[in-house]
Amino acid sequence: MTFAKVFGSEILKLRRSKITWLSFLCYAFFALMAWFVFWMLKNPEAARNLGLIGQKASFALNGLTADWQGLFTMFAELGVAGGMILLSVIVIYLFGREYSEGTAKNMLALPVSRAYFVAAKLCVAALWFALLSAYLLAECLIVGKLLGLGTPPAELAARESANLFLSALLVLALQPIVAFVTVASGGYLAPFGYTIATLLVGNLMIRTDWARWCPWSIVALLGGMAGPRQEGVLLGSSLVLAATFAVGVAATVLHQAYADNCQ
């Protein structure tokens, strides 16, 4: 019951939080971007008249096709690339607000296991991101209808929906370390810097054979951002992500367990 109460209090904190709705607005912008790209693909003459033919050709060269497969692929890529940034922002907010608002000293002084607070915040982040992923999938279906693609094949829709949520799970595995950097630094700046640095490292490593062992590149490999999904790296890379998740959770819990409540 104690954990349920802590989890419920974390949910209640979001009632009047603007970032909750801003996150959904960001995903709505993703849908607008996707619609615009596919509008160019379906209307090359109009795109040429508007001076957009260069962008259209670039997308075509990347193998993006104006059909349901291409649309699902693009939304999956948006979910991975955008999700890695947005979920980090969510985790930084959930953990960092205690320090920026001066409530960390109160939270750490309560007669409740500090591990509950870590677990509750991570569960809230997971639930939040799951809702965003479902919202992204719904947007994909709506954009497809608006583009006149008809009804997606059931098998394709089921497979790509599963891939989208799998990608979201991969992104989620990276976030406990973001939580640790946030509580260890006691603010927003360090974890934001860490997030940017890991994105740069992941983008650099994706071009090497070491990508399957780099947590921030694995998401791109298994999420389809680096070309066709690299199924051959599934087992080893999954173990790396699982270890990354476990280390991040353990480090965050241990830090909070021994943290002084005067911070």
In this prediction, residue 131 has a pLDDT band, given cuts at 50, 70 and 90, of: very high
Q: What is the percent of the chain with per-residue pLDDT over 90, rounded to a whole number?
A: 31
183, part of any domain: yes
The pLDDT, as a whole number, for residue 78 is 86
Q: Are 149 and 68 in contact (CB under 8 A)?
A: yes
9, part of any domain: yes
24, part of any domain: no
C-alpha–C-alpha distance, residues 127 and 74, integer Å = 23
C-alpha–C-alpha distance, residues 169 and 93, integer Å = 19
What does pTM read for this prediction? 0.87
pLDDT in tens, 165-183: 888 888 999 999 999 999 9
Query: Structural domain tally of the chain?
Result: 1
Reference 177, options 203, 201, 161, 211; nearest CA is 201
The pLDDT, as a whole number, for residue 52 is 56
87, part of any domain: yes
40, part of any domain: no
pLDDT in tens, 64-117: 677 888 888 888 888 888 888 999 999 999 999 888 888 777 777 778 888 899
The pLDDT, as a whole number, for residue 61 is 43
**Residue 82: which residues within 8 A CB-CB, separation 6 or more?**
26, 27, 30
pLDDT in tens, 137-174: 999 999 998 888 888 888 988 988 888 888 888 899 99
169, part of any domain: yes
Check pLDDT > 60 for residue 56: no
158, part of any domain: yes
Residues 161-183 as b/e (b if ≥16 CB within 10 A, e otherwise) read: bebbbebbbbbbbbbbbbbbbbb
The pLDDT, as a whole number, for residue 92 is 95
32, part of any domain: no
Parent domain of 197: 2-17+77-139+150-257
How many CB atoms sit inside 10 A of residue 253's CB? Answer: 21
Residue of 244 and 44 predicted with greater confidence: 244
